[in-house]
Structure 1
Amino acid sequence: MTDDKDSKDESPWKTLSTQPVYNNAWIKVEEHQVINPGGSNGIYGKVSFKNQAVGIIPVDKDGNTWLVGQFRYTLNQWSWEIPMGGSPNKEDKMKTAIRELEEETGLKAGEMTQLLHLHPSNSITDEQGYVYLATDLSEGVQQLEDTEKDIQVKKLAFDDAVKMVQNGEITDAISVAGILFLALNRNQYINLK
């Protein structure tokens, strides 16, 4: 039987030294010399993000949602995702959600509700993600950045987006978490059957 570690704030890891390895406008990479919880010396690589990921699930009164598809350079493949963008660490996340929704889809939200706060890959990075529900939608102006010029926008029933997650057609962690969270809690947030 193991102790409940949820309430413990003290780290079982000991950091001996930290060495910067790489730094740019978006990330910082460090190598840490550590003593791990088992008492052995080791190294730990850490990627720190300078922005936080903000995803948005727009849902209209008819139960439709919008996904954005784009070619992801790091994966070397096409990816369907919820609209998403980077929020500078000091920027209000809801402000980012409002901006990114219109930039990527051309939609404006009359109401934004935070659904989730998550750590998409906490074994290697301190990245934080947020997911918002956008409702009371109206037309805005799509304004893609240069890196987003290949984006395609797809309108579909929310339940079809859930099926895309179940079928492995959506693999982005923040998109998967957000869509499944909303599917499980839809009665609390939206009136979909």
Structure 2
Amino acid sequence: MGWERITSEVVHRGPHITLRRDSVRQPGGTAGVYEHIVVHDIVRVVALDEDGQVILVEDDFYLQQRRVLHLPGGSTDGQHPHEAARRELEEETGLMAGRLRTLGVIDPLPAATAARCHLLLATDLQPGKTNRDETEKGMTVHRWALRDAVAAVRDGRITEAGSFAALLLAAAETATETALPKGLDPAT
């Protein structure tokens, strides 16, 4: 791989993140220090209702100091990504996924964390129960046409990395599905 970890120490451990400082040998052989964040993987869910509307949420984000429009999702908390996606979708929107499938996986900040973002498509939505945590009390739910959500990615209204990638993948996948003859499943 080119990188070698010599030692590793915890600089900070909090309830949600751990900051580590590693002594490393870099690919060129030079000794160095690499600081990185250890967090659980995350999920983002493209939930499409029976009318082809995508479910978006909008919430206040502390670091951005603004409301951010994004897909439902959050930390896996160590769960399998599908379990976490089902949990996060219901907690944030009050909807349960009848069907769930993987769209892809991205590394949103590969120089800062090994955590990955799992992108999923949820369909056959059923009513469930909203159960937001204290940080999500001001969250609102929106239903947009998928094409409008993709337009929001393109014009900078949706900027969260997982939402950005998942919406583009879902749009490409649904375009492929509608172009195929009936009964042909692109997953096979």
TM-score by length of 2: 0.88
Question: Any gaps of 5 or more consecutive residues in structure 1?
Answer: 1-10
CA RMSD for the aligned pairs? 1.7
Q: Which amino acid aligns with 1:34?
A: V
* 2:168 matches 1:180: yes
**Sequence identity, in percent?**
31
CA distance in 2, matches of 1:122, 1:111: 30
Runs of 4+ residues over 3 Å off in structure 1:
none
Q: 3-state DSSP class of the match of 2:171?
A: helix
Corresponding residue for 1:42? 32
1:124-165, CA deviations, whole angstroms, 9 ceiling, x for partnerless residues? 101111111111112222221111001011111011000010
Corresponding residue for 1:96? 84
* 2:169 matches 1:157: no
Count of residues in Structure 1 that have an aligned counterpart in Structure 2: 179
Equivalent residue for 1:62, pick from 51, 54, 62:
51
Corresponding residue for 1:132? 120
Equivalent residue for 2:75, pick from 86, 93, 97:
86
* 2:60 matches 1:71: yes
Corresponding residue for 2:17? 27
How far did residue 35 of structure 1 move? 2.4
TM-score by length of 1: 0.86
Q: Which amino acid aligns with 1:47?
A: I
CA distance in 2, matches of 1:92, 1:31: 28
Question: Any gaps of 5 or more consecutive residues in structure 2?
Answer: 180-188
